[in-house]
Structure 1
Amino acid sequence: MRPVPQTAASRDFQVFITAGEAYPEFERMFLSAREKVTLAFRIFDPWTKLHSPEALEIGDTWMDLIAHTLSRGVSIDLTITDFDPVLRPDLHRGTWSSIRAIAAAGELSTNPDLLRVHASMHPARVGAITRLALWPRTYLEIRKTVSKINTDEHAHIDRFMSEVPFLRRNLRRLKDKLGARLLPLPFLVPVTHHQKLAVFDRDLLYIGGLDLNDRRYDTPAHERAADETWHDIQVSVKGPEVEDALRHLETFEDVTLRRIDPPELPNLMRTLSRKPKLNLFRLSPSVCVTELSDFHHAAVARSENLIYLESQFFRDVKLAKSFAKAAKKNPALKLILILPAAPDDVAFEQSSAGDARYGEYLQAKSVKILREAFGDRIFIGSPARPVPSDTPDRSRIYGAPIIYVHAKVSIFDHREAVVSSANLNGRSLKWDTEAGVRISEPEHISHLKKKCYEHWLVEGINESFFDPDQAVEAWRNRARENARAKPEDRKGFIVPYTSAPARRFGHSLPGIPEEMV
Structure 2
Amino acid sequence: MTTQALLSASEAASALERLAATAKGELLLCLPRLSPTTALVTPDLRDGGLETWADLLALLSRRGLDLRILIADTDPLLSSDRHRAAWTHASGFADVLQGEAQLLCAAHGQRATGLRAHFLRRHLAPALTTLRAEDTTRLTPVQRTVLTTGPIPRPADIPQSFAVADGTRAVIGGPDLGTKVPNLLALAIEDADFCGALRGQFADTWTDARNSAAPSLAAHATPINCATRPQSRDDLRLLRTLSRPQKGVGPRPLADDVEGALTRLFAAARRRVLIRTAAFRHDGLAQALAGAATSDGPEVMLLLPPTTTGTWDDDHAAAQQAAILRQLQAAYGARLTILSDPTADGSATLCQIDDVTLLGSATLTRRACRWNTEAAVLARDPDLTEAIYAHVSNTFGGGDRLDVPAANPGRSRLPDDLF
- The answer to whether the superposition gives a TM-score over 0.5 is yes
User: Per-residue CA shift, 1:426-454, capped at 9, x if unaligned?
Assistant: 22112111101110133332333333334
Work out the CA distance in 1 between the residues paired with 2:292 and 2:360: 23
Q: 1:402-437, CA deviations, whole angstroms, 9 ceiling, x for partnerless residues?
A: 5455231111112x2211111112221121111011
Deviation at 1:86, TM superposition (A): 3.4
Q: Which residue of 2 aligns with 1:499?
A: 404
Partner of 2:375: 435
- Secondary structure, counterpart of 2:99 in structure 1: helix
Q: Does 1:217 align with 2:180?
A: yes
Change (3 A) 1:354 1:41: closer
Which residue in the other structure is 1:206 paired with?
171
| 1:346-365 mapped onto 2 (5 Å cutoff) | 355-365=313-323
1:17 aligns with 2:4: no
Q: Determine which of 121, 129, 135 is the counterpart of 1:143.
A: 129
Match of 1:192 in 2: 157
1:273 is paired with a residue of what secondary structure? strand
Whole-angstrom CA distance in 1 between matches of 2:110 and 2:159: 14
| Alpha-carbon distance between aligned partners in 1 of 2:283 and 2:118, rounded to the nearest angstrom | 30
Which residue is 2:365 aligned to? 425
Residue 103 of structure 1: aligned partner? 94
Residue 133 (structure 1) shift: 5.7
The corresponding residue for 1:372 is 330
Counterpart among 365, 372, 390 of residue 450 in structure 1: 390
Contact 1:15 1:451 in 2 (8 A): no
Report the Cα offset of residue 167 of structure 1. Answer: 2.7
Partner in structure 2 of residue 410 of structure 1: 351
> 1:509 is matched with which residue: 389, 407, 411?
411
CA deviation string 1:48-89 (max 9, x = no partner): 222232333333321112112223443321111112223333
Distance verdict in 2 for CA 1:89–1:407, change over 3 Å:
closer
Residues 31 and 70 in structure 2, CA contact (< 8 A), matched pair in contact too = yes
**Counterpart position of 2:45:** 55
CA–CA distance in 2 between the matches of 1:249 and 1:511?
35
For the residues of structure 1 that align with 2:197 and 2:312, how far apart are their CA atoms? 38
Alignment of 1:73-88 (within 5 A): 73-88=64-79
Q: Alpha-carbon deviations, 1:263-285, whole Å to 9, x = none?
A: 89443101112212xx2xx3222
* Aligned match of 1:308: 274
Aligned partner letter, 1:496 = R
Residue correspondence of structure 1 range 103-502 to structure 2 within 5 A = 103-106=94-97, 112-132=98-118, 138-147=124-133, 149-150=134-135, 157-158=136-137, 160-161=138-139, 164-171=140-147, 181=148, 184-211=149-176, 216-218=179-181, 230-239=182-191, 240-254=193-207, 265-266=231-232, 267-276=237-246, 279=247, 282-328=248-294, 331-343=296-308, 345=309, 355-383=313-341, 402-404=342-344, 406-414=347-355, 416-456=356-396, 479=398, 494-500=399-405
TM-score by length of 2: 0.85
SS in 2 for 1:362: helix
Worse-superposed segment, 135-144 or 308-317: 135-144
Deviations 1:142-197 (A, max 9, x none): 231131x23xxxxxx44x35xx22232344xxxxxxxxx4xx34422111111001
Tell whether the 8 Å contact from 1:28 to 1:54 is kept in structure 2 after alignment.
Answer: no
Residue identity in the other structure for 1:310: R
Identity of aligned residues (%): 22
* Matched position secondary structure for 2:275: strand
Q: 1:212 to 1:305 in 2, by over 3 A?
A: closer
Q: Contact 1:270/1:434 (CA < 8 Å) preserved in 2?
A: yes
Amino acid at match of 1:24: S
Check whether the contact 2:119–2:413 (CA below 8 A) recurs between aligned residues. no
Cα distance in 1 between the residues matched to 2:290 and 2:107: 36
Structure 1 residues 55 and 358: CA distance shift in structure 2, 3 A: farther
CA RMSD of aligned residues (A): 2.8
Aligned-residue offset at 1:134: 5.3
State the aligned residue count.
397
For 2:100, give the aligned amino acid.
L
The AA in structure 1 aligned to 2:300 is L
Task: Spell out the pairing of 1:25-36 with structure 2 (5 A cutoff).
Answer: 25-36=15-26
**Structure 1 unaligned spans of 5+:** 1-10, 107-111, 151-156, 172-180, 219-229, 346-350, 384-401, 458-478, 480-493
Is the CA contact 2:4–2:189 (under 8 Å) kept in the aligned structure 1? yes
Structure showing greater Rg: 1
Structure 2: distance between partners of 1:264 and 1:68: 30
Q: Deviations over 1:333-378 (max 9, x none)?
A: 22122222234x4xxxxx8x86222221111111111111011222
Alpha-carbon distance, 1:140 to partner: 4.3
